[in-house]
Structure 1
Amino acid sequence: MTTSTTVPRAGRWERLRDSYLLYSFKRDLVAQLSLLIFIAMVAVAILAPWLAPMNPYDLAQIDIMASEMPPFWMAGSDDAYLLGTDAQGRDLLSTILYGARVSLIIGFGAVALQAALGICFGLLAGYLGGRIDAFLMRLADIQLSFSTLMVAIVVGALVKAIFGSSTFSAYAVPLLVLIIGLAEWPQYARTVRASVLAEKGKEYVDAARTMGLPSRRIMFRHILPNTLSPIFVISTVQVANAIISEAALSFLGLGMPETHPSLGSLIKSGFDYLQSGSWWITLIPGAVLVALVLVINLLGDWLRDVLNPRLYKG
């Protein structure tokens, strides 16, 4: 009589512990520092209402007489304002914390919308092919011919003309998420389509078809999980691009209003005061924006190298 032994399946933590992803991360100091800085920046942005010395949205806490106060290391500074104040008398540290939260919300929200649209369209185009593929890819080509700035101008002009500037300011965050998301979804669609074309001819897809599984289940339950690697990589790049797009639109007056700080609107609000010597109003938020985008791009570069199947992983 023969006995069979069942090998227990490794749990998720065991698989992660033994994966090349964690192996590579432990040996990449740049990736570790980038992730640490990114987590710290996200944490302080989320905890802004509790960490910020004052609420920049509360007019009762703003002292116009304390406008353009320099940072603590310069002469004429005030200990109550570590990074100084802006032209409206708001504490710059507080506005940066609140502004970073707004920028991150717009960045991740826009990428979520891009991914939802791009993944659905890419799956349909790659799996179904034919006229649907041709139509969706031509739609993507048309969309790519319109820049994010052009889409923002059109949508912003329509909203302001129909509902007024006050409504645009009140709903600036969801509008920017919508604008940036609609402008950048073809990046995901093209990437997913290429991955689907490589996967749909494999044996596990043929087996799923033979079993009579519906196309929707085959696409989302079988093909999509095998296309996640390029999606993760492009998402890191797109988050950084979305944050930069928000900053650019706010700087041009098409994004967040100055009364609702984001990193872009903070840079814009202090740009006119560079000549007068109040450089900190623009340069300090600009440095925070550069640091945030830099660590996201560094994490994206590391993730791209780790998930590249052409690299040797021995």
Structure 2
Amino acid sequence: MSTLNSAIESSPATSRWQRFRDSYLLYSFKRDLVAQLSLIVFIALVACAVLAPWLAPMNPYDLAQIDILASELPPFWIPGSEEAYVLGTDAQGRDLLSTILYGARVSLIIGFGAVALQAILGICFGLLAGYLGGRIDAFLMRLADIQLSFSTLMVAIVVGAVVKAIFGSATFSAYAVPLLVLIIGLAEWPQYARTVRASVLAEKGKEYVDAARTMGLSSRRIMFRHILPNTLSPIFVISTVQVANAIISEAALSFLGLGMPETHPSLGSLIKSGFDYLQSGSWWITLLPGAVLVVLVLVINLLGDWLRDVLNPRLYKG
């Protein structure tokens, strides 16, 4: 029995769990109340978005469930509300709670998808620029510098307008989610590329890289199997912040008419759809989705700040 227990305790899965349990990351997380609350709120928002088809009182995409006569009903705490609509309804008669849940799911899909595309492009370009150097490095970094000289939103607006002009409004609306992932991903890849390049320049002169070259390993294997794992800390920090930036970019594009259509709402398109009704007194159509967007972006940024401090001990003040 003791031999069996020793084997279990020494197994790779157990040792990995023990290393995580005793790690500085978990120790710091236990001491940071803001990070704990932010993670709880973030998990709750993501769970509500993922489970929207089961949690939402109705499907806002189903025209048979929409009652136009019930439009602009106020939330439950305002006189004139109806029990069936806890957070009221929008100008089209859709239940606002349902549209927020479905809209948050769309915003999160676009946010994570855009960051995945940014990371793939930025990591590949950063590895090539930092490891190969020379003309490849000069070309990729000048391309990144040119793009960074403009604001991210401006680049996204230009790319979005061009894509919409090429494919047409109807096609853009039908494939809005993958197109927005493409637009935002192309607009923000230089953040990853410059960070990865700086890390590669610091790593490629170390002994383990020289040893890998001596062994005859290919440049691709050295970059992706040996150098890349040692550059993951800044990538994790950037990814956390970039998810929030991507969600904000999607909301801004939707507000400007270059994002999700009102028939397939995201948090940004919900804010836009209710903006014209603020002066008529139906403030909840815009402010409630806006509040959810602010909370979502805030907790992601707080988690990103905590992760940055933990992964850089010189900044962490305990």
Same fold (TM over 0.5): yes
Report Cα offsets for 1:1-26 as digits up to 9, x if no partner: x9999999962101100100000001
Q: CA deviation at 1:210?
A: 1.0
Q: CA deviation at 1:311?
A: 4.6
Query: TM (normalized to structure 2)?
Result: 0.93
Relative distance call for 1:313 and 1:18 in structure 2 (3 A) is farther
The structure 1 segments of at least 4 consecutive aligned residues displaced by more than 6 Å after TM superposition are 2-10
* 1:148–1:179 Cα contact (<8 Å) kept: no
Q: CA deviation at 1:158?
A: 3.7
Question: In the aligned structure 2, how far is the partner of 1:3 from the partner of 1:51?
Answer: 44
Larger mean CA deviation between 301-310 and 188-197 belongs to 301-310
Report Cα offsets for 1:213-241 as digits up to 9, x if no partner: 11111100110000000000011110000
* Count of aligned residue pairs for this structure pair: 313
* 1:147–1:183 Cα contact (<8 Å) kept: no
Give unmatched runs, 5+ long, in structure 1: none
Relative distance call for 1:224 and 1:59 in structure 2 (3 A) is same
* 1:45–1:98 Cα contact (<8 Å) kept: yes
- Secondary structure, in 3 states, of the residue corresponding to 2:9? coil
- Secondary structure, in 3 states, of the residue corresponding to 2:247? helix
**What root-mean-square deviation, in Å, do the aligned CA atoms of Structure 1 and Structure 2 show?**
2.8
- Secondary structure, in 3 states, of the residue corresponding to 1:22? helix
Larger mean CA deviation between 250-259 and 90-99 belongs to 250-259
Which of 92, 99, 111 in structure 2 is aligned with 1:107? 111
* 1:156–1:168 Cα contact (<8 Å) kept: no
Q: CA deviation at 1:146?
A: 4.0
* 1:71–1:82 Cα contact (<8 Å) kept: yes
- Secondary structure, in 3 states, of the residue corresponding to 1:179? helix
* 2:75–2:85 Cα contact (<8 Å) kept: yes
Question: In the aligned structure 2, how far is the partner of 1:289 from the partner of 1:81?
Answer: 20
Report Cα offsets for 1:174-207 as digits up to 9, x if no partner: 1100000000000000000000011111111111
Q: CA deviation at 1:141?
A: 1.2
Relative distance call for 1:4 and 1:164 in structure 2 (3 A) is closer
Relative distance call for 1:218 and 1:274 in structure 2 (3 A) is same
Question: In the aligned structure 1, how far is the partner of 2:70 from the partner of 2:280?
Answer: 16
- Secondary structure, in 3 states, of the residue corresponding to 1:4? helix
Query: TM (normalized to structure 1)?
Result: 0.95
Question: In the aligned structure 1, how far is the partner of 2:46 from the partner of 2:16?
Answer: 26
Corresponding residue number in structure 1 for 2:121: 117
Relative distance call for 1:197 and 1:72 in structure 2 (3 A) is same
* 2:147–2:155 Cα contact (<8 Å) kept: no
Relative distance call for 1:293 and 1:3 in structure 2 (3 A) is closer
Question: In the aligned structure 1, how far is the partner of 2:314 from the partner of 2:106?
Answer: 38
Give unmatched runs, 5+ long, in structure 2: 1-5
Corresponding residue number in structure 2 for 1:281: 285
* 1:146–1:183 Cα contact (<8 Å) kept: no
Q: CA deviation at 1:152?
A: 3.9
* 1:49–1:55 Cα contact (<8 Å) kept: yes
Report Cα offsets for 1:9-54 as digits up to 9, x if no partner: 9621011001000000011111011001101100110000111000
Larger mean CA deviation between 202-211 and 185-194 belongs to 202-211
* 1:180–1:245 Cα contact (<8 Å) kept: yes
Relative distance call for 1:313 and 1:165 in structure 2 (3 A) is closer
Question: In the aligned structure 1, how far is the partner of 2:288 from the partner of 2:7?
Answer: 69
Corresponding residue number in structure 1 for 2:148: 144
1:1-314 aligned at under 5 Å gives the runs 11-311=15-315
Question: In the aligned structure 2, how far is the partner of 1:50 from the partner of 1:239?
Answer: 25
Question: In the aligned structure 2, how far is the partner of 1:4 from the partner of 1:74?
Answer: 59
Q: CA deviation at 1:143?
A: 2.0
Question: In the aligned structure 1, how far is the partner of 2:126 from the partner of 2:24?
Answer: 28
* 2:48–2:55 Cα contact (<8 Å) kept: yes
- Secondary structure, in 3 states, of the residue corresponding to 1:173? helix
Question: In the aligned structure 2, how far is the partner of 1:309 from the partner of 1:263?
Answer: 36
Relative distance call for 1:309 and 1:222 in structure 2 (3 A) is farther
Q: CA deviation at 1:159?
A: 3.8
Q: CA deviation at 1:139?
A: 1.1
Question: In the aligned structure 1, how far is the partner of 2:66 from the partner of 2:162?
Answer: 33
* 1:72–1:79 Cα contact (<8 Å) kept: yes
Question: In the aligned structure 1, how far is the partner of 2:86 from the partner of 2:317?
Answer: 47
